[in-house]
Structure 1
Amino acid sequence: MTWWTGRLASLDFESTGTNPHEARIVEAYIGLVGGGQPPIDRKPLFISPGVPMPAEAADIHGYTDEFLRELGVEPVEGIGRIVTAVKAVWSDGIPLVGHNIGGYDLTLLNAEMVRHGFGPLIDLMGGSYGPVIDTKTISKHIDKWRPRVNEKQGAHALKTCAQVFGIPWVDDEAHGARYDALISARVAWRMGAIAALPREQRPFVQAGRQDERHLFDDLLCDLPALFRKQRQWAREQAASYQTYLRSPKAGDKQDPAAVIDGAWPVQAAPARQEGTTQEAQEAIAS
């Protein structure tokens, strides 16, 4: 069975900000789809983060302090539930699938785990990560010359990927953890399905700039190989962006000292707390 036709665990978080080392998770979704089995569509989990919700974050996902205080669980309980779900799917060899999951979500989860006494994510499976499929990292590899849609919609935003790969998109439902997670899984499936086609039958996805449909061949591999490839692609993409930011081509964004971390699927938290607290152990077990 190919990875895109197997069981997929779609994951997404909504949070208080864009810096995964500092932001707090306020909504989490992990659902199971595909693999010839019925989907498991859990309700999203809301977490009261214990910090004020910035206005710019609330404008995106709509969750206010009052809403989260009323419907959200305490952080240790919420992170414990997420950790338990992640360990369960990884123990079964099921990949976590998400858009920018290796560039944001898993780093955010790692930071929250360290913050609340669970220890780093890599310790969850005894020193290694389970399988991960990052649709943004893959999109940037197979369609690297795709232009921005407009000033607000990036070339590899989830909405753009959905549109490029023929997945229906509803603006009014976007930016909720469940919706974004499930769209990511559908995008991943579509990428794999295209890779399975003969090259001449694959659609042009680079607006006719050049024929690089052969890049889909890189997806024709098993999950461990795909993990290694994504790690390499993420390093290459980070290095390329860093070079751009340091060059005059960046214009107002130019920063000769710019450093882009290419670690994938987790960037280490600046302050690492070792071990697991008793409260965290109880949250995982409960």
Structure 2
Amino acid sequence: MTVSQLDWTYGRLCGFDLETTSTDPHTARIVTGSVVQHGGARATGVRTWLSDVGGAEIPTDATRIHGFTTEAARSAGRPAAVVVEEITTALAAAVEEGRPLVIMNATYDLTVLDREARRYGVVPLLDRVAPAVLDPYVMDKRVQQYRRGGRTLSDLCRHYVVPLEAAHSSEADATAVCVLVRKMGRRYRVLARLSTDQLHREQVAWAREQNESLRDYFARTPGKEEWARSVSLEWPLLPLRAEVSAQ
């Protein structure tokens, strides 16, 4: 077996994506979630969940993004606690089978899942397993620090020529992020030459450097000084806020 066949870009990846009620990961509720098993010379496997959002409301702005109204989620969705447990269990199983979790802007999705787990008395994912996480947002900012343009999933898919149909569908996004990370790894040997565990550790340091730079930029920019306080240096999971931990 050649060296190229041994690197993680040829292995099975587990993509994960959530569509939610808000942009605040501490308070957002899961609307839909998808776990996608991709690559490794095997057929793609997909599991998707629709939650009843646990009695919460889905704001109009969120509906515009993912298409689900409060009424649709309540009528067709499964109990939120069950959805959170099943998603967490599916991700933990993938980790136990040796697969990295591929998540765009991982701090958001993993923090939402963690807070939802705590909300419903479910054992959080990172209390069950220690996943290797691959985040194309962090990775792209490392390998192309000065590239102009946005870094949303749609932006990165355009840049790396990855098909993305039905953007903001959790299934489509979770599938696309696997293809995206695989292409990035094959383009940049600084990524593929590391094991997924090593790459995870590197991303912890890269994300800290990137967030420190953002925090410093806000601190010295008139009118944005207060924003600096909200920049967390943690990756891939945000620390509990005081009001959340007290719930």
Fold equivalence (TM over 0.5): yes
> Which runs of structure 2 are paired with 1:106-121 in the superposition (5 Å)?
106-121=110-125
Structure 2 unaligned residues grouped into runs of 5+: 1-5
Deviations 1:216-240 (A, max 9, x none): x244210110010011111111101
In structure 1, what residue type is equivalent to 2:173?
A: D
In structure 1, what residue type is equivalent to 2:19?
A: E
Q: 1: distance between equivalents of 2:89 and 2:125?
A: 12
Report how far residue 41 of structure 1 moved: 2.5
Report how far residue 169 of structure 1 moved: 3.3
Aligned to 1:64: 69
C-alpha contact 2:22 2:28 (8 A) present in aligned 1: yes
From the two aligned structures, give the one with the greater helix fraction.
2
Deviations 1:165-209 (A, max 9, x none): 111234xx111100111111111010011124xxxxxxxxxxxxx
Aligned to 1:224: 197
Aligned to 1:175: 168
> Which runs of structure 2 are paired with 1:128-167 in the superposition (5 Å)?
129-148=130-149, 155-167=150-162
Larger Rg: 1
Q: 1: distance between equivalents of 2:239 and 2:10?
A: 32
Report how far residue 22 of structure 1 moved: 0.4
Report how far residue 258 of structure 1 moved: 2.6
1:82 paired with 2:98, answer no
Equivalences, count: 239
Aligned to 2:3: none
Structure 1 unaligned residues grouped into runs of 5+: 149-154, 197-216, 275-286
Tell me the C-alpha RMSD between the 2 structures.
1.7
C-alpha contact 1:110 1:269 (8 A) present in aligned 2: no
Q: 2: distance between equivalents of 1:169 and 1:254?
A: 36
In structure 1, what residue type is equivalent to 2:229?
A: A
Give TM-score scaled by structure 1 length. Answer: 0.79
Report how far residue 72 of structure 1 moved: 0.5
Task: Could you list the structure 1 runs, at least 4 aligned residues long, displaced by more than 6 angstroms after superposition.
Answer: none
Report how far residue 111 of structure 1 moved: 0.6
Amino-acid identity (%):
31
Relative to structure 1, the CA distance from residue 138 to residue 256 in structure 2 (aligned partners, 3 Å threshold; closer, same or farther) is closer
SS of residue in 1 equivalent to 2:45: coil
Q: 2: distance between equivalents of 1:256 and 1:105?
A: 21
C-alpha contact 2:21 2:58 (8 A) present in aligned 1: yes
